[in-house]
């Protein structure tokens, strides 16, 4: 692998709200090598977006990076002066967002917005920037780029807007592109086009990518390494093949089995994770996942595990680990969702309770 581009060390980002302190990112350490594609997966509220925004120091109020280091090529982002951070954003690390409509300025031409991204950094002269805009739009495969530069965002379709956002992200040749749910708002055929494009750009330009998503399939198709986050913490990390073949953390395991696959006929019920993600102002003691974990043991409730090596290059934060779970327990977990019998029992209970109420009311 190449040299380390980004190194996040024990990052804590917290939001100081009237309800209390939300520990959105709670001790995250990760790294991205030059040219590498890293997937960061987890459900909404697990801290994946806030981790990315912390890297660019764009955490919205009332959030703050409270401790930790973010080293980009050895420079600590958290200690940069305002001038320095402005130069760093866009030219070293660029970010593209989920909704391309809200991230483009609706009253300015698309071409000018991309141009502005370049002239703001003084990397290209005004005239060079103009010709480069067309080049960039061609590179992201916007048809008729010469005329489309004069269009406004509303004249672009959703897929085209996302292409324009990617072009803008690439304008200053950053070495890392952070993509936050870049295809979630797009239709599947357009999503496939954007994935193809991102793969190509990674190959041709050597731009490292950090893909933030809840879609495991997207990670499988685009990334080399994956980080799984839960409740502000990394619970598992490793090479994509390994994580998908033998996930060791029960959360990763459940995530992979809770989505149906398009290439498989229906076999089992989906594994559903019971309950809800924890309230981050008041997370549970012990392992953050224990109230929802089907394989919980006593130790999980009191003591939080640390990230331990479970295989070559693979770490997981769990006392149990999937390889130690008995087969019958796995089968039980698969059937744990409200089954037909359970539904019928609930119905019978409801009727019995109602009859009881009646008899009390009648007497």
Partner 1 sequence: MTADPILLRVAGAFKHFPISGFGGGAVRAVDGVDLEIRRGETLGLVGESGCGKSTLARLITALLPATAGKIVFDGQDITRLKGWRLRRVRRKMQMIFQDPFASLDPRMTVGDILQEPLDNFAIGSMRDRRRRVQELLRLVGLNPNFTNRYPHEFSGGQRQRIGIARALAVNPSFIVCDEAVSALDVSIQAQIINLLQDLQKEFQLTYLFIAHDLAVVRHLSDRIAVMYLGKVVETAGRNDIYERPQHPYTKALLSSIPVPDPAVERERAPISLKGEIPSPVNPPSGCRFHPRCPIARVPGICSEQEPPLEPHGARDQVAACHFAGQA
Applying CB under 8 A, the residues found at the interface with partner 1 are: 43-44, 143, 157, 159-160, 187-193, 195-196, 214-222, 240-241, 244-245, 254-256, 258-263, 265-266, 269-274, 276-277, 337-340, 343-344, 346-347, 349-351, 353-354, 357, 361
Question: Which is nearer to partner 1, 12 or 214 (by Cβ)?
Answer: 214
CB of 263 to partner 1, least distance (A): 5
Distance CA 152, CA 236 (A): 43
Strand order in the sheet with 75-76: 20-33, 4-17, 63-72, 75-76
Question: Which is nearer to partner 1, 125 or 258 (by Cβ)?
Answer: 258
Q: Cα-flanking dihedrals φ and ψ of residue 230, to 5°?
A: -145, 130
Question: Which is nearer to partner 1, 220 or 330 (by Cβ)?
Answer: 220
Question: Which is nearer to partner 1, 302 or 335 (by Cβ)?
Answer: 335
* Burial class of residue 231 in the structure, from the number of CB atoms within 10 Å of its CB (0-12 exposed, 13-18 middle, 19+ buried): buried
CB of 117 to partner 1, least distance (A): 25
Q: 298 near 307, Cβ under 8 Å?
A: no
Q: Cα-flanking dihedrals φ and ψ of residue 337, to 5°?
A: -65, 155
CB of 238 to partner 1, least distance (A): 12
CB of 65 to partner 1, least distance (A): 26
Q: 76 near 70, Cβ under 8 Å?
A: yes
CB of 191 to partner 1, least distance (A): 7
CB of 354 to partner 1, least distance (A): 5
CB of 363 to partner 1, least distance (A): 15
Question: Which is nearer to partner 1, 74 or 362 (by Cβ)?
Answer: 362
As given in the structure block, the two tokens for residue 315 are 């770490």
Question: Which is nearer to partner 1, 128 or 350 (by Cβ)?
Answer: 350
Angle, alpha carbons 176-182-185 (nearest 5°): 170
Alpha helices (H) along the chain? 48-55, 82-91, 100-103, 110-119, 126-139, 145-148, 158-170, 188-205, 216-222, 240-245, 250-257, 298-302, 327-334, 340-362
At residue 231, the 3 state secondary structure works out as coil
Question: Which is nearer to partner 1, 128 or 357 (by Cβ)?
Answer: 357
């Amino acid at each position: 692998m190449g040299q380390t581009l980004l190194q996040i060390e024990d990052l804590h980002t917290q939001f100081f709200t009237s309800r209390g302190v939300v520990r959105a990112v709670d001790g995250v350490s990760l790294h991205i090598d030059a040219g590498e594609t890293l997937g960061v997966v987890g459900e909404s509220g697990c801290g994946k977006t806030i981790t990315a925004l912390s890297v660019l120091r764009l955490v919205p109020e009332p959030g703050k990076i409270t401790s930790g280091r973010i080293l980009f090529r050895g420079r600590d982002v958290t200690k940069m002066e305002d001038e320095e951070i402005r130069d760093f954003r866009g030219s070293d690390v660029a970010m593209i967002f989920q909704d391309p409509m809200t991230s483009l300025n609706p009253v300015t031409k698309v071409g000018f917005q991309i141009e502005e991204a370049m002239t703001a950094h003084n990397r290209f002269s005004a005239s060079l920037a103009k010709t480069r805009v067309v080049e960039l739009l061609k590179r992201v495969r916007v048809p008729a780029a010469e005329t489309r530069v004069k269009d406004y965002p509303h004249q672009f379709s959703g897929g085209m807007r996302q292409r324009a956002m990617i072009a803008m992200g690439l304008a200053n040749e950053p070495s890392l592109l952070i993509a936050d749910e870049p295809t979630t708002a797009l239709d599947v055929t357009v999503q496939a086009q954007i994935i193809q494009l991102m793969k190509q750009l990674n190959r041709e330009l050597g731009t490292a990518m950090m893909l933030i998503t809840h879609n495991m399939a997207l990670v499988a198709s685009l990334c080399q390494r994956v980080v799984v986050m839960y409740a502000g913490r990394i619970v598992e990390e490793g090479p994509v093949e390994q994580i998908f073949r033998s996930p060791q953390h029960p959360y990763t395991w459940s995530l992979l089995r809770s989505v149906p696959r398009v290439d498989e006929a229906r076999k089992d019920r989906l594994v559903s994770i019971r309950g809800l993600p924890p309230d981050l102002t008041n997370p549970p003691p012990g392992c953050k996942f224990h109230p929802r974990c089907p394989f919980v043991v006593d130790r999980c409730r009191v003591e939080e595990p640390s990230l331990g090596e479970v295989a070559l290059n693979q770490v997981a934060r769990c006392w149990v680990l999937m390889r130690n779970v008995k087969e019958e327990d796995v089968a039980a977990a698969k059937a744990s969702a409200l089954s037909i019998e359970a539904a019928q029992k609930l119905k019978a209970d409801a009727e019995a309770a109602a009859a009881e109420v009646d008899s009390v009311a009648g007497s």
